[in-house]
Amino acid sequence: MKKYTDSQWDYRQEDFIDGVLFREDKSTKNPFYEATKSNGGLHEDPGGWTKYGISERTFSKREDGVNILNDEYKAGNISSFDIPNLTKEDAKFLHKKHYLDPMIRKFGKSDIALKLADISVNIGMGNTTAIIQAALNEYGANLEVDGAGLFIGNTSDKVDTFLSSEYDEDKFMEVLTKKQKDYYISIGNDKYGKGWDNRANYNPIVGE
């Protein structure tokens, strides 16, 4: 696994948030722009109002009653607690705190962490955990693919064991990509199929 210095990583994650999560600059020939250009535009979808990839369902109307957006607003971390008025800086903070940072804590300052953060922004942490479980099962983990336990429990332990082994990072990235595509197929991808396939092809190792 490629190791990054602190300064290299600071640049790497900033570039990831701007160039991958927001995918705004078509001049970079980013293959995911068309698939995700709505991340920067306010729109309504099954997740409710969504802007910069921050959805109402995820950040404002949690089933457990926790309103993340409002809590962050009250803590002074963001400038607005309503989706339509979110700024880009608000969204960058939320993406980093709730998607990228958890993956860094689990997978270290790595390209795998960037890949998984991108997946989790798109389909949620639970579905991303299921993809990780399915990927680890290719290495004999024998995990139940239930989307639970990434940070504590059996899945967490299996991840730690895998990360401590001499695994091939390029190969593992390929397996994650395959499982991500399998997920998109499983939920039906007639409308967003090409865009989702492009998104799944995102590989931080080669900058694609």
pLDDT at position 25: 45
Is the separation of the CB atoms in 176 and 131 below 8 Å?
yes
36-89 pLDDT, tens digit each: 444 457 888 777 888 888 888 889 877 677 899 999 999 999 999 999 999 989
Q: Is 176 exposed, middle or buried (0-12, 13-18, 19+ CB in 10 A)?
A: buried
pLDDT at position 26: 42
Mean pLDDT computed over every residue of the chain: 85
Is the separation of the CB atoms in 16 and 4 below 8 Å?
no
Q: How far is CA 15 from CA 24, 91, 92, 190, in A?
A: 12, 15, 11, 31
95-122 pLDDT, tens digit each: 999 999 999 999 999 999 999 999 998 8
Is the separation of the CB atoms in 148 and 155 below 8 Å?
yes
In whole angstroms, give the CA distance from residue 103 to residue 109.
9
Low-confidence winner among 7-11, 25-29, 86-90, 171-175 (lowest mean pLDDT): 25-29
Angle subtended by helix axes 111-123 and 169-186, to nearest 10: 10
Q: What's the start-to-end Cα distance of the chain, in Å?
A: 18
Question: Which among 2-6, 83-87, 150-154 has the top mean pLDDT?
Answer: 150-154
Per-residue confidence band for 30, with pLDDT thresholds at 50, 70 and 90: very low
Low-confidence winner among 9-13, 135-139, 142-146 (lowest mean pLDDT): 9-13
Q: What is the pTM of this model?
A: 0.86
28 pLDDT more than 50:
no
pLDDT > 90 in the chain, percent: 54
Would you put residue 109 in left (φ > 0), alpha (ψ -120 to 50) or beta? beta
32 pLDDT more than 90:
no
Q: Residue 135 corresponds to which tokens in the numbers above?
A: 């990927």
Name the residue ranges covered by the structural domains of the chain.
6-41+88-200
In whole angstroms, give the CA distance from residue 171 to residue 168.
5
In whole angstroms, give the CA distance from residue 123 to residue 109.
22
Low-confidence winner among 86-100, 162-176, 190-204 (lowest mean pLDDT): 190-204
